[in-house]
Amino acid sequence: AMEDVSAKFVSQKISRTRWRPPPATALQPPDIFATGSWDNEDNRISIWSAGDLGNVGLNGEYHGEPHLLCDIPHNGDVMDMQFLDQERIVVASSTGTVTIFRHHQNNQTLSANHRWEKAHYHVDQDTSCGGAACTGVICNNPEIVTVGEDGRINLFRADQKDAVRTIDNADSSTLHAVTFLRTTEILTVNSIGQLKIWDLRQQRNEPSQIFSLAGDRVPLHCVDRHPNQQHIVATGGQDGMLSIWDIRQGTMPVSLLNAHEAEMWEVHFHPSNPDHLFTCSEDGSLWHWDASTNVSEKPSFLHQGGRSTAYLSHTTINQSVVSAWLSNDPTKDRMEITNLIPNQTLSVNSLDVLGPCLVYGTDAEAIYVNRQLFA
């Protein structure tokens, strides 16, 4: 339903898009999102309003386009970005620096609130060229975890000047992404196809568990944890495959799904409807994976690019809670997959989903908002 999508051309390549988290009382759909750019002369962090909600056509279709509320220059490429709370955004830079920006909603400005210079570095923090890209950041306010090309993991607190904890040689390869499994545990993915779990309560600097893609050491670029079931994790990597892992089971993925033709850059479970998962890729596609069990009763959508049905590999495991992603009932293993961008050509670098809304950004210097994901 491309007619539900509004586009905004922004004359910079967009590396990250993120919805602002809703206030606890919010009933209306999300409206504010942030973007970060990369590979431009001057990179920027920008805050957008998704558009005029009053501007709705006769059939309920939505007409406005996103408009810029405020922006601020950013030193280096924006490698990752997460909201810490309603007003603060944590940004990871290719220079190795991690910055908290504050969005002042009263006068629509952005300011740098706090900066950890060269949180990631190759040789030493003091040399001018020593920075190593900070590739991933995840927040659980007030805690912030960052990972980098230097194989380092940092644990920061928003209110503290120095790192609470640094694991210097956490990995000998590049760490590409990180997520919280629970408040004291994180999971990282690296450039040789490994997932590692780190227990932040332990003082030792070794992972508590290591998982890996069998044999082929495909770099993993992204990871997301199922919002309700902390043992289910999705990853994507250089070969475009989607891997689903059950971290209680063995050391291999539960299922490997053929997905994109090129690198998968981001994977996100829908936060409130996690039978739906979204992935985006260098190949210019953005896929909506629907694993909800009633897929067989649904009308088949028009599929453009991509197969219409994928079959999961089955593992018969005794599940306390059956998740669609770990289903061992073969009749339920059909999955509806829809490419939400039929004829895009350049890389889709980032996406975020919240409620009925999807935002994504591309190397075609555009941001797109779809406000009727499940229409």
User: In this predicted model, what pLDDT tens digit does every residue of 17-32 receive, in sequence order?
Assistant: 999 998 877 778 889 9
pLDDT of 58 > 70? The answer is: no
Asked whether the beta carbons of 64 and 52 are under 8 A apart, the reply is yes
Helices (H), 243-294: none
pLDDT of 198 > 80? The answer is: yes
pTM metric for this prediction: 0.88
Q: What is the pLDDT of residue 63?
A: 60
- 30-292+320-370 maps to which CATH number? 2.130.10.10
Q: What is the pLDDT of residue 214?
A: 74
Q: Region 312-318: what's the mean pLDDT?
A: 34
pLDDT of 321 > 80? The answer is: no
DSSP secondary structure code for residue 258 in this structure: -
pLDDT of 319 > 50? The answer is: no
Asked whether the beta carbons of 318 and 339 are under 8 A apart, the reply is no
Return all residues near 118 (Cβ < 8 A) that are at least 6 apart: 95, 96, 97, 125, 130, 131
Q: What is the pLDDT of residue 324?
A: 77
Q: What is the pLDDT of residue 60?
A: 53
Number of DSSP helices (H) and strands (E) in the chain, helices first: 0, 29
128's tokens = 């001018």
